[in-house]
Amino acid sequence: MTGYDEVLGQDLIKKFFHNCIQTGNVPHACILSGEAGMGKRKLAQAFAEALLCERGGTEACGVCHSCRQAAGGSHPDLIFVTHEKPASIGVKDVREQIQDTIVIRPYNGRYKVYIVDEGEKMTVQAQNALLKTIEEPPSYGVILLLTTNADSFLPTILSRCIQLKCKPVSDGAGKKYLMEKFQVPESRAEIYAAFARGNVGKMVELATSEKFQNMYDRMVGLLKNIKKMDISDLLSYIKELKDEDTDIYDCLDFMQLWYRDILMYKVTRDVNLMVFKNERNTINEICEKSGYDGLELILQAIDKARVRLNANVNQDLALELMLLTMKEN
Ligand SMILES: [Zn+2]
């Protein structure tokens, strides 16, 4: 697989890039925004390769000299802007790597493409420096700004860029992708897809990480037995999770999916709507013992715990309150 095929979904963005090349109407500056893992870099690279390809099709041919150079990271007209400081892209980075070099015409083809990853790290000064280039770009200049947060750009930058947003893929498409490409069993693929909320990179990470497996087993263990456990058991459980460096927010997401499953099953009695199909017996059991009000309270308690953790309230206390609600309802 090459180019756009490496990214699942994002059809609108792919179509836009196709059209640009087909019509010759290539924008000088684009902002590609979306969470980490949604394919921004791959999309930008595929578009850049297509622009630079010697055969001039809407997608890179993958075999010409230019395509081979681009794929190998050594194309002189494809520039990945780097930054000295890890936390910010400064004015010096923009001046030296974009402003000073964009005046030099492309070596081979019709375009010279700049990819600025982590665009949200650009300082205001760096953005103002970039603005000068974007305001009067040379005909061959194409700047692709990638970012997890388009709001970090100045309005003057935003108004001069074409804005493209990566969209979450559907759970169904994500599930199919994991099953076909990573041979993940269906029941598991469904959980990863639901958990990653349409972020393909995250789905793949979950499917291939031991850490998630460990959390999964622990969470199911906890949620199955929570009513039988006493407070000291629960507290030591939390401590163990922390010692293992488990992401508490992931745990909360997990619990939310779990209780949503129970509520959904209580309402519909339809196993097909469940995320945790493998645990259907346990879910059925809990479902019999829990009322609607109790389940609502639990879901609210999970939300509340998340708010409290965000507000830096004592973590143990926030989790303890939530687990007590789960235990008692
Ligand atoms: Zn080519």
Burial tier of 275 (Cβ tally within 10 Å: 0-12, 13-18, 19+)? buried
Q: Which two tokens stand for residue 51?
A: 């622009």
**Distance from the alpha carbon of residue 189 to the mean position of ligand 1, in angstroms:** 35
Please give the distance, rounded to the nearest whole angstrom, from the Cα atom of residue 19 to the centre of ligand 1.
Answer: 18
Ligand 1 centroid vs 40 CA: distance in angstroms? 21
d(CA 41, CA 44): 5
Mean pLDDT of 35-44: 94
Residue 68 CA, ligand 1 centroid: distance in Å: 7
Residue 92 has pLDDT above 70, yes or no: yes
Q: How far is CA 296 from CA 301, 302, 321, 326, in A?
A: 9, 10, 15, 10
- The residue assigned the tokens 């559907």 is 170
- Positive or negative: CA dihedral 294, 257, 213, 35: negative
pLDDT for the residue numbered 328: 87
- Please tell me the least confidently modeled range out of 93-107, 147-161, 230-244: 230-244
Judge contact between 187 and 181, C-beta under 8 A.
no
Q: Ligand 1 center to residue 43 CA distance, Å?
A: 16
pLDDT per residue over 292-327, tens digit each? 999 999 999 999 999 998 888 788 888 888 999 998
Res 1 pLDDT > 60: no
Write out the H or E segment, with its range, that includes residue 168: none
The rounded Å distance from CA 117 to ligand 1 centre is 23
**Cα-to-centroid distance, 83 and ligand 1 (Å):** 29
Residue 23 φ/ψ, nearest 5 degrees: -90, -10
Q: What is the pLDDT of residues 156-174, one digit of tens each?
A: 999 999 999 999 999 999 9
Mean pLDDT taken over the chain? 92
> Which among 173, 201, 175 has a CA at the least distance from the CA of 187?
175
Rounded average pLDDT over 137-145:
96
Q: Averaged over 176-198, what is the pLDDT?
A: 91
All structural domains of the chain: 3-165 (3.40.50.300), 209-328 (1.20.272)
Query: How far apart are the CA of 97 and the centre of ligand 1, in A?
Result: 25
Can you give the pLDDT at residue 227? 86
Q: Measured in angstroms, how far is the CA atom of residue 52 from the centroid of ligand 1? A: 7
CA of 4 to the centre of ligand 1 (A): 14
pTM of the model: 0.82
Cross-sheet strand order for the sheet of 162-165 = 78-81, 112-116, 141-147, 29-33, 162-165
Dist. CA 6 → ligand 1 center (Å): 17
Average pLDDT, stretch 40-60?
95
pLDDT beyond 50 at 223: yes
